[in-house]
Amino acid sequence: MKSFQGKRAVVTGGGTGMGRELALQLATEGCSWQSCDVSAENMAETKSRCEQAAPAGTKITAHLCDVSNEAQVLAFRDAVAKAHGDHVHLLFNNAGIGGGDSFLTGERAEWDRTFGVCWGGVYLCTRAFLPLVVASPRATSSTPAA
């Protein structure tokens, strides 16, 4: 992809850190994006910064979503499709958390939460959004020879 101008992207974990910076870079280049995070306050800050930096016509939406929760991921996907159309060009599974503490003495619930976000979130978001990526005008697929 030579330019992000006019493209559509989904960024998970866009409330802070790398997700916020990625969203800002995309917006600056005129890429419309949809992002999610578990913090409404952080997403509002990201959205505000991106709206200030984006060229006119760049569509930016922010959503609350815990990527480890399939129902929330599917609701996020449906909101993206409603607000931005039937396809996206880019999917950035950026959401992640640190955690787990000590493998030996840490609480199991901490590890379950970490795996749920860092592994399960990638799986759930990819499964949910891949049809929208495949539907993009530049997507290609290959069919095995008969």
Helix (H, G, I), strand (E, B), or coil: what is residue 138?
A: coil
Q: Which positions ≥6 away from 90 have C-beta within 8 Å?
A: 1, 4, 7, 8, 9, 10, 26, 31, 133
* Nearest Cα to Cα of residue 15 among 49, 32, 38: 38
- Residue 46: both structure tokens together: 């990201």
Q: What is the pLDDT of residue 102?
A: 86
What pLDDT score does 101 carry? 80
Q: Global pTM?
A: 0.90
At residue 143, the pLDDT reads 45
Q: pLDDT tens digits, the chain, 146 residues: what are they?
A: 789 999 999 999 999 999 999 999 999 999 999 999 999 999 999 999 999 999 999 999 999 999 999 999 999 999 999 999 999 999 999 999 988 788 888 888 999 999 999 999 999 999 999 999 999 987 654 445 54
For residue 142, what pLDDT is reported? 46
* Six-digit token string for 104: 């030996």
- Within 29-101, residue ranges assigned H as helices are 40-53, 70-84
